[in-house]
Amino acid sequence: MTTGLRRRVQGTRAPAPTETQGDMTDDFTELPDDAQDTAAAGDAPRRTAVVAEDESLIRMDIVETLTEAGFDVIAAVGDGESAIEKTRELRPDVVILDVKMPQTDGVTAAEKIGEENLAPVVMLTAFSQSELVERARDAGAMAYVVKPFTPADLLPAVEIAISRHQQIVQLESEIADLGERFETRKRVDRAKGLLQTNMGLSEPEAFRWIQKTSMDRRLTMREVAEAVVDQLGGQGKD
């Protein structure tokens, strides 16, 4: 079975753990960490954000944090319904939603934004809101931050949400059938986990390795993911 799969993917291989990681990461599009964002700020368009938080001081802090990180905050509102409207109108790169807001709460807003695939969502929550966190995940929130938080908490969550949303968009553009999309996402997630564990890659790096290999080999991302699982998933079992 292993031989047949390897033959099918024409020698596609996950990089061996003993190889230098530099050899792999040279093939990647660089990750959007703070230093790289700063270096590229003059060349790349500023990413956009919508912020929805009913406490004005917290809302101002979020806006300031995102602005200093290179984002354009194109709308800052105090309720979920306004967040939905602004997201539909402006199509930002990311939406920051507080869980508890008047009119429409953040979870309901996240559900509507997710259903329409408008933008990735980062939820703001409190320690006592574990059930709401689960609801937010089910609603499609890509990341969440627990209050009180600092820029060092918020900004990585924003980057994770954007990265995960881009991955989903990429996979869904490749596959039309909903059932097939789900299976492909499961296999790609499994392959990403193996690359992270065996190679010490971050989640975005692992996804970009799969994406680039699929383009270089003219294979689907699912085929590449299956090859990674085949080759790395059995390590340590022999």
Which structural domains are found in the chain, ordered by start?
34-166 (3.40.50.2300), 177-233 (1.10.10.10)
Asked whether residue 134 carries a pLDDT value surpassing 80, the answer given is no
Asked whether residue 69 carries a pLDDT value surpassing 90, the answer given is yes
Asked whether residue 121 carries a pLDDT value surpassing 90, the answer given is yes
* pLDDT for position 234: 66
* pLDDT for position 39: 41
Question: Which structure tokens are listed for 93?
Answer: 């790169």
Q: Which residue has the higher pLDDT, 207 or 159?
A: 159
Give the CB-side neighbour count of residue 178, counting CA atoms within 13 A: 0
Lowest mean pLDDT among 7-16, 144-153, 206-215: 7-16
Distance (Å, whole) CA 19 – CA 4: 25
Give the chain's end-to-end CA distance (angstroms, integer). Answer: 16
Whole-model pTM: value is 0.57
* pLDDT for position 158: 94
CB 91: neighbour CB atoms within 10 A? Answer: 12
Asked whether residue 194 carries a pLDDT value surpassing 60, the answer given is yes
pLDDT band at 115 (very low <50, low <70, confident <90, very high): confident
Asked whether residue 14 carries a pLDDT value surpassing 60, the answer given is no
* pLDDT for position 63: 96
Amino acid in position 180: E
Lowest mean pLDDT among 24-33, 141-150, 172-181, 199-208: 24-33
Amino acid in position 99: V
Asked whether residue 52 carries a pLDDT value surpassing 90, the answer given is yes
Burial (0-12, 13-18, 19+ Cβ within 10 Å), 214: buried
Strands (E), the chain: 48-52, 72-77, 94-98, 121-125, 143-146
